[in-house]
């Protein structure tokens, strides 16, 4: 029997980026907020200082900041006809766990989607005709436009102290930035991070071919910066320990550096770590959620926390699972195409290349993901897909082939061990460049999430089952963008280069991208979506679902910039509209 606690105004289920942003905005509006997080609490001062934070074995190989698969995982299969098996150690993607979530170990690549991305089905229909979109490509327009989100994108930029160079400032194309981006109301808060040598070589080659290179936008501060919460960020030290670990210099933005210090000081906010929310208490007749049930993982005791507003702010899988387990919304039925919860799971279709430049020294031990130079000429609707046989695209990047110990790629045919391997490593370690294409995944009716019939988590709940494979469209897209990337690499005149296409079937190893999206998608009506344009559930008006699980499809960019912008957009709707008049913000 769960112990019933005193009601609070709002409860967050998950304390990563969106939980922290929502909690901050709601406490500012006067609400009492409880943040529930199943993982541990971490602070920069206690957990992420030198020398411990530069432990590649601990963080990069042994994945200390990631979700604990022994407590909860997902099952996976490539196709509906197969039997799914549990992922016992994450590989292809690495959901984070603990206060800060995946936003602690991210690389910080901070993008906005294109204005046309937000109306992709309409844009494709206008340009290529309705018939050109395959029936099984279940993409849909977002119920919110770039123009509506712009001010929230800007706010999130200024929370994170993003470093970059604007390419479109209030409609004016600016030299040196991304000319394809939507109009920005303001320049980036910080100047770009210094570009790597291969990045600069890539930029020069790309420009020579008529493309438009620019430094990658990144949530790593290039100079000391005070953010919109009045919190200080340090400047990047180019130490190379970014992905899979935390920042020793307070330069890479995460919620634990940019929001949590303000929340921790606010008496209206209470953080409860090691608190695993198992279900929502749903009143179907009233179309409301009454609160949440959670287990304190330290004691095993169960609590019921009633709340006026419930925010689902977990990872994509957790958000979807919570709705399925709580009976909120109609589960997606793959056989009939009916139902919506779990529909339109999408991923990131990355492919790339490595090149080696004999006798060049790139100093690869100094690194930051922000040292990449990129082009956006082959993303979304930035290029004509007429006659190509696919839709979508992605941006291209080039930088050092980093990874302080782990990253030492060798040309094909080099010895794999022994003295020969050592010689080859010494020869090529410092002259290798890495290239990537950040490919979109346009939703397909066969890619979805539901509950596994067999496997359960440590608390006895059915696991989420992921059914996913790369589609014909996405493979064609990837082959095309990699062929364009290859043209630029050739122009850089490397000694050797190799392209890496994705294998036909998706596998859960090796690492590919943590950009999982969909499952609780947003849309214009309850038939085509789980949440409305304000991320409010159609089936429970006091339930708001945050994060990339609301993306109707995944575009050719990293998701976090849009995740943060949507959180501010949703928070504004709650504080300025919903609290005054609780009820549906969009009428079905």
Nearest approach in angstroms of CB 429 to other proteins is 23
> Nearer to other proteins by C-beta: 98 or 331?
98
Nearest approach in angstroms of CB 44 to other proteins is 4
Burial of 128 (0-12, 13-18, 19+ CB in 10 A): middle
> Nearer to other proteins by C-beta: 48 or 349?
48
> Nearer to other proteins by C-beta: 245 or 321?
245
Nearest approach in angstroms of CB 242 to other proteins is 14
Pairing relationship of beta strands 288-296 and 275-283 according to DSSP bridges: antiparallel
Q: Which residues contact 463 (CB under 8 A, 6 or more apart)?
A: 72, 73, 74, 75, 86, 321, 451, 452, 455, 456, 457
Nearest approach in angstroms of CB 45 to other proteins is 5
Distance CA 527, CA 35 (A): 31
Spatial CA neighbour of 98 closest among 62, 61, 60, 66: 66
Spatial CA neighbour of 134 closest among 448, 501, 390: 390
Candidate list 105, 212, 444, 515, residue with the active-site label:
515
Nearest approach in angstroms of CB 252 to other proteins is 11
In 3-state terms, what secondary structure has residue 567?
Answer: helix
Distance CA 327, CA 329 (A): 6
Count of beta carbons in the 10 Å neighbourhood of residue 378:
23
> Nearer to other proteins by C-beta: 108 or 182?
108
* HEC profile of 174-240: CCCCCCCCCCECCCCCECCCCCCHHHHHHHHHHHHCCCCCEECCECECCCCEECCCCCEECCCCCEC
Nearest approach in angstroms of CB 48 to other proteins is 8
Would you say how long the chain is, in residues? 588
Nearest approach in angstroms of CB 26 to other proteins is 23
Distance CA 559, CA 110 (A): 8
Count of beta carbons in the 10 Å neighbourhood of residue 531:
29
Task: Answer whether 323's CB lies under 8 Å from 330's CB.
Answer: no
Pairing relationship of beta strands 302-312 and 3-4 according to DSSP bridges: parallel
Distance CA 83, CA 301 (A): 34
> Nearer to other proteins by C-beta: 234 or 342?
234
> Nearer to other proteins by C-beta: 51 or 267?
51
> Nearer to other proteins by C-beta: 50 or 426?
50
> Nearer to other proteins by C-beta: 221 or 549?
221
Q: Six-digit token pair at 408?
A: 């030492």
Q: Which residues contact 51 (CB under 8 A, 6 or more apart)?
A: none
> Nearer to other proteins by C-beta: 181 or 248?
248
H helices of 94-180, in order, are 102-105, 120-128, 146-160
In 3-state terms, what secondary structure has residue 140?
Answer: coil
Residues that bind other proteins (CB under 8 A): 43-46, 48-51, 224, 226, 232-235, 237, 239, 248-251, 257, 261
Answer yes or no: 515 catalytic: yes
Spatial CA neighbour of 17 closest among 337, 386, 313, 379: 313
Distance CA 529, CA 20 (A): 25
Nearest approach in angstroms of CB 163 to other proteins is 14
Identify the residue whose tokens are 């130079």.
373
Nearest approach in angstroms of CB 188 to other proteins is 18
Which positions are annotated as active-site residues? Answer: 515
């Amino acid at each position: 029997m769960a112990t019933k606690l005193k009601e609070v105004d709002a409860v967050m289920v998950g304390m990563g980026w969106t939980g922290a942003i929502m909690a901050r905005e709601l406490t500012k509006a006067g609400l009492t907020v409880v943040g529930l997080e199943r993982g541990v609490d971490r602070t920069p001062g206690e957990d992420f200082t030198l020398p411990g934070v530069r432990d590649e074995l601990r963080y990069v190989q042994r994945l200390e900041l990631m979700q604990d698969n022994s407590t909860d995982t997902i099952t996976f299969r490539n196709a509906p006809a197969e039997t799914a098996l549990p992922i016992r150690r994450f590989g292809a993607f690495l959901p984070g766990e603990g206060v800060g979530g995946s936003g602690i170990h991210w690389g910080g690549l901070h993008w906005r989607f294109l204005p046309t991305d937000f109306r992709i089905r309409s844009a494709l229909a206008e340009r290529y005709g309705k018939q050109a979109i395959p029936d099984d490509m279940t993409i849909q327009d977002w119920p919110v436009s770039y123009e509506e989100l712009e001010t929230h994108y800007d706010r999130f930029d200024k929370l994170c102290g993003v470093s970059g160079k604007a390419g479109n400032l209030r409609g004016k194309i600016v030299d040196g930035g991304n000319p394809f981006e939507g109009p920005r109301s303001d320049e980036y808060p910080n100047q770009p991070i210094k570009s790597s040598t291969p990045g600069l070589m890539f930029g020069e080659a790309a420009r020579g071919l008529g493309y438009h290179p620019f430094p990658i936008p990144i949530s790593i501060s290039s100079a000391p910066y005070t953010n919109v919460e009045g919190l200080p960020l340090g400047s990047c030290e180019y130490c190379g320990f970014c992905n899979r670990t935390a920042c020793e210099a307070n330069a890479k933005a995460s919620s634990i550096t940019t929001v949590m210090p303000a929340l921790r000081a606010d008496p209206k906010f209470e953080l409860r770590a090691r608190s695993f929310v198992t279900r929502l208490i749903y009143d179907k007749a009233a179309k409301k959620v009454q609160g949440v049930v959670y287990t304190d993982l330290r004691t095993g005791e169960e609590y019921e926390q009633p709340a006026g507003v419930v925010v689902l702010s977990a990872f994509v899988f957790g958000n979807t699972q919570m709705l399925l387990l709580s009976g909120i919304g109609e589960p997606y039925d793959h056989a009939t195409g009916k139902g919506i919860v779990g529909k339109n799971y999408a991923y990131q279709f990355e492919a790339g290349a490595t090149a080696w430049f004999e006798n060049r020294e790139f100093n690869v031990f100094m690194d930051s993901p922000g040292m990449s130079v990129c082009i956006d000429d082959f993303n979304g609707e930035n290029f004509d897909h007429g006659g190509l046989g696919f839709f979508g695209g992605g941006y291209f990047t080039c930088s050092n082939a980093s990874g302080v110990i782990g990253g030492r790629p060798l040309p094909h045919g080099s010895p794999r061990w022994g003295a020969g391997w050592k010689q080859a490593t010494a020869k090529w370690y410092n002259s290798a460049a890495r290239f990537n294409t950040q490919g979109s995944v346009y939703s397909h009716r066969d890619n979805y999430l539901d509950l596994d019939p067999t496997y359960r988590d440590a608390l006895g709940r059915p696991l989420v089952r992921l059914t996913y494979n790369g589609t014909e469209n996405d493979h064609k897209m990837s082959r095309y963008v990699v062929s364009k990337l290859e043209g630029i690499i050739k122009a850089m005149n490397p000694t050797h280069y190799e392209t890496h296409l994705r294998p036909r079937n998706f596998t859960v190893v090796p690492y590919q991208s943590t950009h999982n999206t969909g499952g609780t998608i947003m849309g214009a009506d309850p038939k085509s979506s789980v949440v409305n344009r304000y991320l409010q559930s159609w089936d429970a008006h006091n339930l708001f679902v945050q994060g990339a699980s609301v993306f109707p499809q995944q575009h050719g960019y990293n998701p976090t910039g849009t995740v943060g912008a949507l959180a501010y957009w949703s928070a504004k709707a709650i504080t300025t509209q919903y609290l005054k008049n609780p009820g549906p913000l969009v009428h079905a």
